Amino acid sequence: MSAQPARPASRPSFFRRPRALWRQLSRRYTHIGLMRWLVLGIVAGLGSGILAIAFHAGLEGLTHLLQVQLAGVVLPHPAGERVLAGPPGPYRPWLIPVFTTAVGLITGLLVTRCIPEALSGVTDGTDAMIRAFHQQGGVIRPTVPVIKSSTAILTIAAGGSAGQEGPISQLGAGLGSLIAQKLHLTARQRRILLLAGAAGGLGAIFRAPLGGAITAVEVLYSEDFEAEALLPAVVSSVVAYTLFAFVYGGKAILEAPGYVFTNALELPFYLALAVVVSLAARLFIRTFFAFKFKVFGPLAKRFGPTVAMTAGGLGMGLLGWRYPELCGGGYGWIEMAANGRLDMLFLVGLFFGKLLATALTIGSGLSGGMFAPSLFLGGAAGSVVGQAGQWLRPDIVTQPGGYTLVGMAAFFAGVAHAPIGPLIMVCEISQGYALLAPLMLASAVTMVLCDDIHLYENQVANKFASPAHAADATNNILESVPVASVFTPGRTTILEEGVTLGALADIIAGTRALVFPVTDCAGVLTGILAVQDARRVLFEPTLRDLLLVRDLMRPPVVVHPDMSLYDALMLFVESDLSQLPVVAAEKPDAILGLLDRRHVFTAYSSTLKAIQSPD
């Protein structure tokens, strides 16, 4: 009988290597925190980038329809935001109050009926994001950012004095919160992903990936920043910016000359700018909150929020009818000021007009952001100082337009107590990196002079003042709790190195232990065998008498009775074991028993409850 031909060796599947790579990436995502945040940051960036594209498209399209085609109002646009072009319609500025009043009525009805929780306690969308981080466990109801961003588009397009960053940061934060809830993440992880979404929206809408990320983690506190969220925020901001730039281009929003700081004699003028900007910031904060709490607050309390928003829309519309230059975000005027194309008297009028317009718009409860008006006011004040300095000393102040850019960053640093993010953002939206020295100086001085004023109502001083970090003060309470306080000595199954796989299977079947200390023939502790390490070969019949415990064990990891539970917890995290052998400090080979990971968690929970208890 002829022998059958040998079968050819089976070739590896074409999909085997990608599958192995996927399994490896999945393990890294599960066990490595940085890898997990990298992936989540990318997801948040993709989502917030798409939302920023849709938001910008809707805003530009509706603005062109209402202001340009219907009202015939043509305002200057910055170089980086020219999207739609076309001949304007007949000049009918009287339509501006019609638009803004209607938007006030629509916004009031939508907000009071659908999202009444958004009526009070916040300055704008950015402040709502801050409140969600500190007080709501990172949870944002999806309806809130959808309605607030939609009504913000209506407000700005109709002629309201507001910016895009408030609604887009709230929109991105809402997306991050939604993703975290769908993935069943913890409250801490939810807050971090919320910030990543907000950073993506800011980085995209301002074409400022680094500034958007830093601002999102910095604006939460007046004396601190959320360092833990920096990685996902940066990743999200870069991804969102890349996606946004792919659609609209990556050109900087403002087109300004390449101003350079080279003369140290200019520093006194920049110090004077910081003083002027701080005074302007105080006037802005006082005026805004006076309108919000003393004018529109009583009006809303007596007649309802819808009446207050309608009145604010009417007031803004009448102001915009007489002075259309005050409508919208105003970046076009800032670009002209940075290029030295506006005189001092016009800038002063713009400043006070914009201050009043913003108080009427946002102070009445209409949707929109405060970042753009703040940059506008700071830029106008800075430009006035620059032109005054050139008039006094033309030999020293040779580039007054640069003071516009410095004033923008310094003003927001003063009112929001966030010096780094806005500083970088101004550099990115204007490409004015050569002014870093005066930017840093003016921002720092303005912050000191504005230490007692705050734009965002929910901003707190630092992490210790945040409800989100209420348990942080007790994070290291386990350092004072010894292992001996929760560990009860008991009999432990100890394996010898020469035990076969077959015998090991019988031992595992007869005990509940998941970790076994391993000793040599002299009783010296040489390793640890975890059931999870032996599971893949435990039921291989061909290996029952060939494979020994010494082939499966890992290096020994032990704890001592006098070791703190915090150190024991770190060993659990590093080893990924559910139990650790406890050995005597003076006899490292004497096994006293096993410390279970749940003992550490139970001790942490009970100690934390005892500390937080009012009694």
Q: CATH topology of 23-248 equal to that of 264-462?
A: yes
Strands 495-496 and 515-519: parallel
Distance CA 539, CA 66 (A): 74
Tell me how far apart the alpha carbons of residues 370 and 128 are, in angstroms, rounded to a whole number.
12
Whether the per-residue pLDDT at 563 is higher than 90: the answer is no
Q: Residue 569's pLDDT is what?
A: 83
Q: What is the pTM of this model?
A: 0.74
Q: What percent of the chain has pLDDT over 90?
A: 50
| Cα–Cα distance measured from residue 456 to residue 444, given in angstroms and rounded to the nearest whole number | 19
Question: Is-contact 336 342, C-beta < 8 A?
Answer: yes
Mean pLDDT value across residues 180-188: 87
3-class DSSP assignment, residue 550: helix
- Three-state SS annotation for 238-283: HHHHHHHHHHHCCCCCCCCCCCCCCCHHHHHHHHHHHHHHHHHHHH
What number of H helices and E strands is found in the chain?
23, 5
pLDDT value at position 500? 85
pLDDT band at residue 233 using 50, 70 and 90 as cut-offs: very high
Tell me if residue 460 falls in helix, strand or coil. Answer: strand
Residue 135 predicted with pLDDT over 80 = yes
What CATH superfamily is the domain 477-612?
CBS-domain (3.10.580.10)
Q: What is the mean pLDDT of the chain?
A: 86
In the block, residue with structure tokens 């992490």: 463
Look at residue 1 in the predicted model and tell me its pLDDT: 39
Looking at residue 140, what is its pLDDT? 92
Selected from 2.60.40.420, 1.10.12.10, 3.50.50.60, 1.10.3080.10, the CATH number assigned to the domain covering 264-462 reads: 1.10.3080.10
* Inter-residue contact 417 to 447 (CB < 8 Å): yes
Residue 611 has a pLDDT of 62
pLDDT value at position 351?
95
83 — pLDDT class (breaks 50, 70, 90)? low
What pLDDT does residue 521 have?
84
| Region of poorest pLDDT, from 20-29, 421-430, 505-514 | 20-29
Q: pLDDT at position 566, please?
A: 80
Highest average pLDDT, of 37-41, 171-175, 257-261, 471-475, comes from 171-175
Confidence of residue 540 (pLDDT cuts 50, 70, 90): confident
259's tokens: 């101003």
Please tell me the predicted confidence (pLDDT) of residue 476. Answer: 58
- Return the pLDDT at 14: 46
CATH class (in words) of the domain with range 23-248 = mainly alpha
The residue behind tokens 């550490």 is 600
Distance CA 450, CA 2 (A): 98
CB distance 277 to 414 below 8 Å: yes
Question: What is the pLDDT averaged over residues 278-295?
Answer: 95
Share of the chain above pLDDT 70, in %: 92
Phi-psi region of 342 (alpha: psi -120 to 50; beta: other; left: phi over 0): beta
Is residue 259 predicted with pLDDT exceeding 80?
yes
Residues 92-125 have pLDDT tens digits of 999 999 999 999 999 999 999 999 988 888 888 8
Above 50 in pLDDT, residue 162? yes
**Domain residue ranges of the chain, discontinuous segments joined by +:** 23-248, 264-462, 477-612
Quickly count: other Cβ atoms within 10 Å of residue 512's Cβ: 6
- Is it the case that residue 293 has pLDDT exceeding 90? yes
Q: For 312-328, write each residue's pLDDT tens digit.
A: 999 999 999 999 999 98
Q: Using CA atoms, how far apart are residues 354 and 209, in angstroms rounded to an integer?
A: 28
User: Which pLDDT belongs to residue 474?
Assistant: 47
The per-residue b/e assignment along 191-219, b for 16 or more CB within 10 angstroms, e otherwise, is bbbbbbbbbbbbbbbbbbbbbbbbbbbbb
Distant-in-sequence, close-in-space partners of 601: CB < 8 Å, separation ≥ 6: none
Amino acid 530: pLDDT: 84
- Write the pLDDT tens digit of every residue in 504-531: 888 888 787 888 888 888 888 888 888 8
- What does the pLDDT average to over 270-279? 96
Confidence of residue 2 (pLDDT cuts 50, 70, 90): very low
The pLDDT score that the predictor gives to residue 54 is 95
| Angstrom distance (rounded) from CA 592 to CA 483 | 12
